[in-house]
Chains A and B, each alone.
Chain A
């Protein structure tokens, strides 16, 4: 085993570029774990080092427009990348790297989560804040389309993020929570879950945007579409985005851009 590892190391080293670079990626808090696995593979292939900074997409956006030194932004929605693109971050087309799925989760397995929601047998339903969190917006749309929004409104509690919404249910204070499939996958099988149909809400698209035109940044952006990345992304409970997206290399880096 040991000589195999040495051999691998030699092979990997021999194909590395002479100057390995360090790039910094702002990653949405919900995507931190898959991102870690993806950049590990990327680093093994290319020899570049990737530093991940995790926070909410709203905070990252505020940091980026105030000059934060990130190279690539993996957002939790498509709104913020769109806004950045309009502000001149158009080094490469935006890329939908993952599509989130909404799950209704109940800590109690005695009754199905769906049955509980439809029959109204709960005190509180936790969702992420519809005004600020993409999963919250999707949750509101789904409840609207199920014709339940008005009847559950006064029993809604909102977390600042989808993580907090799950926490409300995990601690037993809320009996139901509309959360991300990527989170529920990590829980042990206790409880009851119901995958909310995609037709009930706008797709929860998570988009990536390059914040500069450096070849390494664009290489990592492209790598998000690779088969290896897509496997990791689906294993974590996301749909890996449309496969037909073609990313072309920018013709020449724009020298005039700061």
Chain B
């Protein structure tokens, strides 16, 4: 069964996925909204940057973050001035890495949901006297609910399975930066296959359940939804 260290790794992983998701929803929603409405000629650049973590190997992201956060890195002066110091090997560092790593999984479903609702419902709301804020929170957000659900589950699940980035910047500290995937890797490398099986199986079942929830709820929205 799971030992104490594995349970701690599980808790760190859930905390990391949760914190990352909340921040990504707060940052990703305005970004996705802007991308769905803008006519800026720089839109394609922003879209490419958002999609970049999809195609880059996570070890590349981790490697650059390690250099960026390091004491010779371009951010070190700023971090020192703010009194933050080294971010590598800390939970905050992992959150920063995960934000980059899972960004497209939150922004893209939201952007698609905002685009597919079209301008019409918002224009109708405007003629009825709704302010821009009102239109966003009482019309756009409810209409984009399936998008929010997909974004949340994918963002959470993707962070849950994160490996390459945390391997590079985490330092494998139990109780601080040792997440589930790293614990599994250690068990396999140490040929402790029994423990590896428990953790790997847990991650497999949890991921499958979450994805099933997305598709099941997604179908209900599609049949009962606005169109």
Contact = CB atoms under 8 A, between A and B. Distances in A.
Interface of A: 56, 58, 61, 123-124, 126, 129, 131-132, 156-160, 164, 167-168, 171-174
Interface residues of B, number: 24
Contacts of A58: 188-191
B189 A173 contact: no
Interface in B46-98: 66-67, 69-73, 76, 85-86, 88-89
B89 A173 contact: yes
Contacts of A174: 89, 171
Interface of B: 66-67, 69-73, 76, 85-86, 88-89, 167-169, 171-173, 185-186, 188-191
B171 A124 contact: yes
Nearest to A161: B189
A61 B190 CA distance: 11
Contacts of B186: 129, 131-132
Contacts of B67: 171
Contacts of A126: 171
Contacts of A124: 86, 89, 171
Counting from the closest, the 3 A-B pairs by CB-CB distance are A157-B171, A172-B71, A171-B70
A113 to B, nearest CB: 16
Contacts, number: 63
A171 B191 contact: no
25 contacts: A58-B188, A58-B189, A123-B85, A123-B86, A124-B89, A129-B172, A156-B173, A157-B172, A159-B171, A159-B172, A160-B185, A164-B167, A164-B168, A168-B66, A171-B66, A171-B67, A171-B72, A171-B73, A172-B70, A172-B71, A172-B73, A173-B69, A173-B71, A173-B86, A174-B89
Residue from A156, A171, A172 having most chain B Cβ neighbours under 10 A: A171
Given A58-B190, A160-B189, A168-B89, 11 more contacts: A126-B171, A132-B189, A158-B171, A164-B167, A171-B67, A171-B70, A171-B73, A173-B66, A173-B69, A173-B70, A173-B169
Contacts of A156: 173
